[in-house]
């Protein structure tokens, strides 16, 4: 009997996914002036529930009106990882012929004359930059990637990896070169206390950004700085990549995970309060990592939940997508991760 029920459930889920593949975007009514995309790497539904228990009250994401689910494994059937998922979401490379120029979200935003910002909790030359900012999935030279930013024309760049900017083998100091191009350069988080009308590159650590307990309010300050600096510019596109949740998952470290999830919640709450009605906020849990299971034992509010970890890698659990603001209805339902790229691209074009 149990096998029969399981088979029926699998059949229904498969039907949902098959139908979802045929569903593209619907006409956009009231395109967003600004788009903020937050990649909560490694976040599945159980990570969200665990942090809700730790917080002792609902996360801000529970107030987002639209919830969708993306299929977190590629068409070739291989196990997902941070690289394949960021390529799918950031470029939809698998459906682009090799002869066509691959365009990232930032390429599309520039074509629409939007101001742009990229914020990451890793080095700005890391995996996120390779697949979301540039189309360099196989590029391994950190110094070469740092050079790419000089010609990227991004308005705001915030993250770690200063060793590739000022301690280079070629002797160049990219901070000085950014200044000659009109950028403000910041090496401390305090430099982001006030918004600016100028361009900014803030590389705050030699390597990646520290975990939440050691980095103070890095995510919230960086996000608000970018949003407030670009506000009223005729349209802005901001991407925030939070890779620390996945890092905590891969270490099976519950305390670390709770820090990161609640820090993410704080940032999203601040953005929601100050973004206004013309901004789409899109929060993407690109895949679940760690195989997190919540045990059914007594629960004490605001204490670390009782967790069993089943893996240290990405799993094929469905990944949640939350949306709020103009165009949010595009992200409801079930769809392939490549469709996130298509939906965002359609929203960018609809601003014309």
SS3 call for 240 = strand
DSSP 8-state secondary structure symbol assigned to residue 237: E
Q: Is 226 exposed, middle or buried (0-12, 13-18, 19+ CB in 10 A)?
A: buried
For residue 179, is it within any domain? yes
Position 11 in a domain:
no
Strand partners, 118: 157, 239
Choose the most confident range, by mean pLDDT, from 28-37, 103-112, 181-190, 308-317.
Answer: 181-190
Residue 9 within any structural domain of the chain: no
Check residue 336 and give its pLDDT. Answer: 85
Characterise 232 by phi-psi region: left (phi > 0), alpha (psi -120 to 50), beta (else). Answer: left
End-to-end CA distance of the chain: 55
Q: How far apart are CA 19 and CA 106, in angstroms?
A: 30
pTM for this entry: 0.88
pLDDT at 214 over 90: no
CATH at 336:
3.40.720.10
CA distance 151 to 41: 27
The answer to whether 162 and 203 have CB atoms below 8 angstroms apart is: yes
In a domain, 262, yes or no: yes
Ramachandran angles phi, psi of 289, nearest 5°: -130, 140
Mean pLDDT calculated for residue range 199-205 = 96
Interatomic CA distance for residues 148 and 207, integer angstroms? 18
Using the CB atoms, write b or e for 251-281: b if 16+ within 10 Å: ebbbebbbbbbbbbbbbbebbbeebeeebbb
- Tell me how far the alpha carbon of residue 342 is from its chain's centroid: 16
How far apart CA 212 and CA 341 sit, in angstroms, is: 29
Burial of residue 134, with CB atoms counted within 10 A of its CB: 0-12 exposed, 13-18 middle, 19 or more buried: buried
For 4, the token pair is 């029969």
CB atoms within 10 A of CB 52: 18
What is the strand order of the sheet 199-203 is part of? 183-186, 199-203, 156-160, 115-123, 236-242, 34-40, 279-284, 319-324, 66-71, 333-336
DSSP 3-65: HHHHHHHHHHHHHHHHHHHH--PPPPSS--SEEEEEEETT--HHHHHHHHHHHTS--GGGG-S
Answer whether residue 8 is part of any domain: no
Distance (Å) of CA 168 to CA 130, 142, 146, 173: 19, 10, 10, 7
Domain membership of residue 85 as a residue range: 33-349
Q: How many structural domains are present in the chain?
A: 1
Confidence of residue 352 (pLDDT cuts 50, 70, 90): low
104 in any annotated domain: yes
What's the whole-number mean pLDDT along residues 73-78? Answer: 60
Residue 18 lies in a domain: no
Residue 25 lies in a domain: no
User: In the chain, count of helices (H) and strands (E)?
Assistant: 13, 12
Of 230, 218, 319, 321, residue with least CA distance to 270? 218
The percentage of residues in the chain with a pLDDT greater than 70, rounded to a whole number, is 82
**Contact indicator for 182, 199 with CB cutoff of 8 Å:** yes
**Which one has a higher pLDDT value, 319 or 97?**
319
* Least confident window among 138-147, 229-238, 245-254, 284-293: 138-147
Residue range 169-188, pLDDT digits in tens: 999 999 999 999 999 999 99
């Amino acid at each position: 009997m149990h096998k029969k029920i399981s088979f029926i459930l699998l059949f229904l889920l498969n039907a949902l996914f098959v139908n979802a593949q045929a569903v593209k975007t619907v006409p956009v009514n009231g395109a967003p002036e600004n788009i903020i995309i937050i990649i909560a790497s490694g976040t599945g539904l159980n990570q969200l529930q665990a942090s809700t228990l730790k917080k002792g009250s609902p996360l801000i994401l529970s107030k987002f009106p639209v919830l969708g689910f993306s299929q977190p494994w590629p068409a070739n059937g291989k196990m997902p990882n941070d690289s394949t998922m960021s390529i799918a979401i950031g470029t939809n490379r698998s459906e682009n012929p090799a002869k066509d120029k691959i365009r990232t979200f930032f390429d599309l935003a520039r074509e629409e004359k939007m101001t742009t910002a990229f914020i990451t909790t890793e080095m700005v030359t890391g995996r996120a930059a390779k697949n979301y900012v540039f189309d360099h999935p196989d590029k391994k030279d950190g110094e070469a990637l740092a050079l790419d930013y000089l010609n990227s024309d991004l308005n705001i760049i915030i993250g770690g990896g200063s060793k590739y900017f000022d301690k280079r083998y070629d002797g160049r100091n990219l901070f000085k070169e950014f200044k000659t191009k009109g950028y403000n350069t910041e090496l401390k988080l305090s430099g982001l206390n006030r918004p600016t009308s100028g361009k900014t590159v803030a590389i705050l650590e030699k390597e990646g950004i520290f975990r939440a307990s050691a980095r103070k309010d890095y995510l919230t300050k960086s996000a608000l700085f970018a949003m407030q600096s670009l506000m009223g510019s005729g349209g802005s596109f901001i991407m925030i990549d939070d890779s620390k949740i996945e890092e905590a998952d891969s270490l099976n470290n519950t305390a670390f995970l709770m820090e990161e999830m609640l820090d993410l919640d704080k940032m999203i709450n601040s953005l929601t309060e100050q973004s206004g009605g013309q901004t789409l906020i899109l929060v993407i849990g690109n895949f679940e990592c760690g195989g997190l299971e919540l045990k059914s034992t007594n629960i004490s509010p605001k204490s670390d939940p009782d967790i069993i970890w089943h893996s240290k890698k990405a799993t094929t659990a469905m990944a949640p997508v939350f949306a709020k603001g103009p165009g949010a209805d595009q992200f409801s339902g079930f769809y392939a991760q490549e469709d996130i790229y298509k939906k965002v691209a359609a929203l960018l074009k609809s601003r014309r």
